[in-house]
A and B are shown apart, each in its own frame.
Chain A
Amino acid sequence: MKPDTDMNRSMEQRDAEVKKTMNILDEMPRIEAHHLFRARLLQRIEASAQTASTSAGFNPRLAFFSLLLLFNIAMGVLLFLHQDPQMTNRSSAIAESYNEEYGSPALSYYEQPVADQTGNE
């Protein structure tokens, strides 16, 4: 018998707590706005209007994201150029042609022509 009584009592207590908690919303007092509510509101509206007018031509967020986008595009292009085999072949072909054109002994600064070396020594 006793366990049933204890269980009933704890259920009653639980239900009482539930009821008190649900009643919080019913017992909530109606609040009134602070006497400076409207003054503060108008101040905030004026401040936000001034901020909007001073930054009208420049949006820092937009500028930052544009810069980020440009940077990403540039990195992408560089990566593409670096990995492109055709471009690599072209650049090595260019390097080779420079070598042929400017690499002859006649144009070198550091190697003496064969005839001079034999004659002067």
Chain B
Amino acid sequence: MQQQDSISRDLIFSNLVSEHQDMVLNTCYRFVLNREDAEDLAQEVFIEVHRSLDRFREESKLSTWIYRIAVTKSLDYLRRLKRKKRFSSLKRIIGVDDPADSIAAPERENPADALADKERVTVLQEALSSLPDNQKTAFLLSKQDGYSNQEIADILQTTIPAVESLVHRAKKNLQTRLERHYGERG
């Protein structure tokens, strides 16, 4: 009987993974802007889902619950990265290279364009890291296909007008920050 329960649980989990893995992966990718890190994070999301599946209380849709875990894990990852970068800037001062500095950028044929894109990704990451978590989340999820404002509101456990306000404020703050950055560069 126990074995049957275990088999059916594994089957349920396997179906969950195949149904949601792309969405989870792309959600994490939006946050971390790095494919390898996104895959690692997506794995951690499903490990957490596997661990906590029995505790799921059906207060929300299963998909909402899974994507909420993805967002939480991604935000935790970004916080850890921020702490690492603070440490790595110290390492840079003393002359030690840090692999955490490598960030993926869109592939280009022209090396100058590739370098410019890489710099823009870095600038975007820094601008995004300056946003509060709820603004960052609402903004990034709004940019991804597959999330309606209702779903974003469910993930953030808020209302649709609140989500719209968060997205608007995030865009404004990002714009201001980027204008300041590129304006200072001259």
Contact = CB atoms under 8 A, between A and B. Distances in A.
In the complex, which range does the number of interface residues on chain B fall in?
35 or more
Nearest to B127: A21
Contacts of A4: none
A6 to B, nearest CB: 11
A13 B179 CA distance: 10
A18 B174 CA distance: 9
Interface in A7-37: 10, 13-15, 17-18, 20-22, 24-34, 37
Nearest to A40: B43
B106 interface: yes
Contacts of A90: none
B143 A20 contact: no
Interface of B is mostly: helix
A21 B17 contact: no
Contacts of B22: 30, 32-33
Interface in B33-91: 33, 35, 38-39, 42-43, 46-47, 50
Given A22-B175, A25-B124, A30-B22, 4 more contacts: A15-B179, A18-B175, A28-B143, A38-B21
Interface of B: 14, 17-18, 21-22, 25-26, 29-30, 33, 35, 38-39, 42-43, 46-47, 50, 106, 117, 120-121, 123-124, 127, 140, 143, 145, 174-175, 178-179, 182-183, 186
23 contacts: A14-B182, A15-B179, A17-B178, A21-B120, A21-B127, A21-B178, A22-B175, A25-B30, A25-B124, A28-B29, A29-B106, A31-B25, A32-B22, A33-B25, A37-B42, A37-B43, A38-B14, A38-B18, A41-B17, A41-B43, A41-B47, A44-B47, A48-B47
